[in-house]
Copies of this chain bind each other. A is one copy, B any other.
Amino acid sequence: MRILITGGAGFIGSHLCDRLLSDDHSVVAIDNLITGSSNNISHLSENKNFSFIYHNVADYINFSDPVDAVMHFASPASPSQTAPTGYLQLPIQTLKAGALGTLNALGVAKKHAAVFLLASTSEVYGDPLEHPQSETYWGNVDPIGPRSVYDEAKRFAEALTMAYQRTHGVDTRIVRIFNTYGPRMAMDDGRAVPNFIHQALRETSLTIYGDGKQTRSFCYVDDLVNGIVALLESREHHPVNLGNPHEITIMELADAINKITNNTAGTVFTDGRTRSDPQQRQPDISRAEELLRWQPCISLQVGLQKTIKFYKDKLAAHK
């Protein structure tokens, strides 16, 4: 298959490129590199099955070559209040990537009768009043708050994708991605895993916001990519949650990272931030288990080891 991936130089997008290339597909990545990085795909530059187009998906995508699938992954995605690549720092770009980007990517899929897959998010559930969240939950989202630039853009993207399926018969998929971690997350992404690893590799104390007892669930990126490929190969039009339902406390995460990195500086506690991290969300993955025979299988221990190795190598290369 020939597959177009918007946001192909991003964290998840670039892993998807790797996986699809290793499955012998041909991949075209589109990215404007405002949150993605050419470092994430530089190892593919000699691969004859890979090509890269520098382009903003909010602008019309002029793509005349035949294509079998279009996967729309382009968007800022970090909720960090301070990270320069977070969607709170890129509000208009985020809204445009969700609305115009989805429209343009759907246009390519429609033109070529290709499968379309939308990367949606657990943030469509907002501050959920149901735990865990299943795909039938309608969510609890503030339409006018600062985070609405991401949440509402993705909800709009889902509505648009369903409308293209119903009206134009485009063969669509929607994946709702929960917290994911792994190599190639930007070091300044602002989320817990890269923050902690960053501090641990510098042998400083890991900063815990709040009492550390709040829980999160983290999915390793290879698990996620397996699920996305399974969804692409399915015929399921309705949204499917992908994420790791196993919850751990932030304290446990910090301890695990300190242990793997042999960081003896421990942890420090500071006041909780107001909504800079996603609120607690936990995926109900029964649909993915049933429809795709998918479940995450990489342990936090193994996933963190791989992730830490990536950052270690990166820091060593910069010395």
Contacts and interface: CB of A to CB of B under 8 A. Distances in A.
Interface residues of A, number: 37
B95 A144 contact: no
Contacts of A142: 138
Given A100-B100, A155-B155, A156-B153, A163 B95 contact: yes
Interface of A: 91-92, 95-96, 98-100, 103, 124, 126, 138-144, 146, 148-149, 151-153, 155-156, 158-160, 162-164, 166-168, 174, 238-239
A96 B149 CA distance: 17
Contacts of A238: 144
A95 B140 CA distance: 21
> How many chain copies does the complex carry?
2
A144 B162 contact: yes
Given A143-B155, A159-B144, A159-B152, A167 B126 contact: no
Contacts of A160: 95, 99
Contacts of A151: 159
Given A148-B159, A162-B148, A143 B138 contact: yes
Contact of A152 (B103, B156, B167): B156
Contacts of A163: 91-92, 95, 148-149
A164 B124 contact: no
Nearest to A162: B144
Contacts of A124: 143
B167 A143 contact: no
A10 B247 CA distance: 52
A126 B139 CA distance: 12
A239 B138 contact: no
A194 to B, nearest CB: 26
Nearest to A126: B138
Residue of A98, A152, A164 most packed against chain B (CB within 10 A):
A152
Contacts of A174: 144
A222 to B, nearest CB: 28
A153 B159 contact: yes
